[in-house]
Structure 1
């Protein structure tokens, strides 16, 4: 039986739908983060090798494409966990490399910094009345800078550029969290699978960037 209040009040119905998308997004995001942590830990303990740049890029973008393509059906959830599981697998060897290089001390602070940044950004996006849509242009500009810097550093191999890119990635990921969260609140993002993937990738990039910054800065004795 339909709720007469919902049928008479479109704004009330919209609010209910928004809350549902937000609730489903946070729930699925929590599940994927736990799943990734389990896979990453298993990968670390078993000492599995990193799949390499080509396989990583193909797996990352291929699974992301399949997730987005199936975001409106049940296979979207299957590909969501396949994607986040694959990312967890690639993260294990990276963490082992940091530990092997004597920079394992950076892992826990990077996790804490990632969690704190996500909570602060989410809280601000959920409570502010300010329109954050201006961030979309800044994020596009930031993406171009990151892409150019990444390509340039493939040839230059300068640690300072890598460190600068990590700093830009922290800002880029924080902006993506702010923009995505407010987009859910304001009804711009109505698919919780898409929202989850965006937030997950932002958290992943944020963690890796903080890990690199803390590892490099902490290693300068």
Structure 2
């Protein structure tokens, strides 16, 4: 995957991946402690999570996003992910969670390799992906007030899984082409973390709904 990178940039690329993996470990810790967090706190934590995402990408020009920020975000994200994981585990069985994680890991690895190996600059995808992401967010908010049926949720999750899979390809392609600095590492790792966790949630919904309908 790193063959197309210059020697100078390879160590920074690897540091992004290491920071990403550590963020997943922090998220796992948050997921564990999520079972002890009162339900009433989940919405405030989700709001805090959203504010942190907005702040992270607003501060990126100043390169003010540090390691403490991303690891704290990962813990909060893990906590807020617990109700989703718990719901589908109770509805379709714990094996569905493991299947979703395995599928996420596999898809992430494949898409990351494609993004890093592709010689073409995929920056032209940025506008399309942003519009698709905003549409997903809008539908997600709408579904809070007007819940989707099982078929609608599966379709919504399939589209979400495709969009975040493409984001993985896009992010790795752009990382390969940029000169990564030490200040860039946390934000780039955060982008990969968001790709991974959102892909996982969408795959979990798909497998959970389909398994429960059997």
* Category of TM-score, reference length = shorter chain: 0.7 to 0.9
- Segments ≥4 residues shifted beyond 6 Å: none
For 2:51, the equivalent position in structure 1 comes to: 62
Q: Does 1:40 align with 2:22?
A: no
Residue 23 of structure 1: how far off its partner (Å): 1.2
Deviates more, 1:34-43 or 1:205-214: 34-43
CA, structure 1 residues 193+96, in 2 after alignment: closer, same or farther (shift >3 Å)?
same
Structure 1 Cα separation of the partners of residues 157 and 38 of structure 2: 24
Residue 16 of structure 1: how far off its partner (Å): 3.9
For 2:164, the equivalent position in structure 1 comes to: 173
Give the one of 78, 97, 113 matched to 2:68.
Answer: 78
Larger Rg over CA atoms: 1
Which runs of structure 2 are paired with 1:12-161 in the superposition (5 Å)? 15-44=6-35, 47-50=36-39, 51-53=41-43, 55-68=44-57, 69=59, 72=63, 76-159=66-149, 160-161=151-152
Residue 129 of structure 1: how far off its partner (Å): 1.4
Deviates more, 1:81-90 or 1:188-197: 188-197
Structure 2 Cα separation of the partners of residues 117 and 210 of structure 1: 10
CA, structure 1 residues 58+151, in 2 after alignment: closer, same or farther (shift >3 Å)?
closer
For 2:203, the equivalent position in structure 1 comes to: 210
For 1:8, the equivalent position in structure 2 comes to: none
Which structure carries more relative contact order (alpha carbon 8 Å, separation 6+)?
A: 2
Structure 1 unaligned blocks of 5 or more = 1-13
For 1:183, the equivalent position in structure 2 comes to: 174
Aligned residue for 1:210, secondary structure, equals helix
Structure 2 Cα separation of the partners of residues 72 and 158 of structure 1: 39
Q: RMSD in angstroms over aligned alpha carbons? A: 2.3
Structure 2 Cα separation of the partners of residues 136 and 189 of structure 1: 19
CA, structure 1 residues 142+188, in 2 after alignment: closer, same or farther (shift >3 Å)?
farther
Asked if the contact 2:96–2:204 (Cα under 8 Å) also holds between the matched residues in 1, the reply is yes
TM-score (norm 2): 0.84
Residue 17 of structure 1: how far off its partner (Å): 4.2
Structure 2 Cα separation of the partners of residues 48 and 96 of structure 1: 13
Structure 2 Cα separation of the partners of residues 141 and 63 of structure 1: 21
Residue 56 of structure 1: how far off its partner (Å): 3.5
Asked if the contact 1:189–1:195 (Cα under 8 Å) also holds between the matched residues in 2, the reply is no
Structure 2 unaligned blocks of 5 or more = none
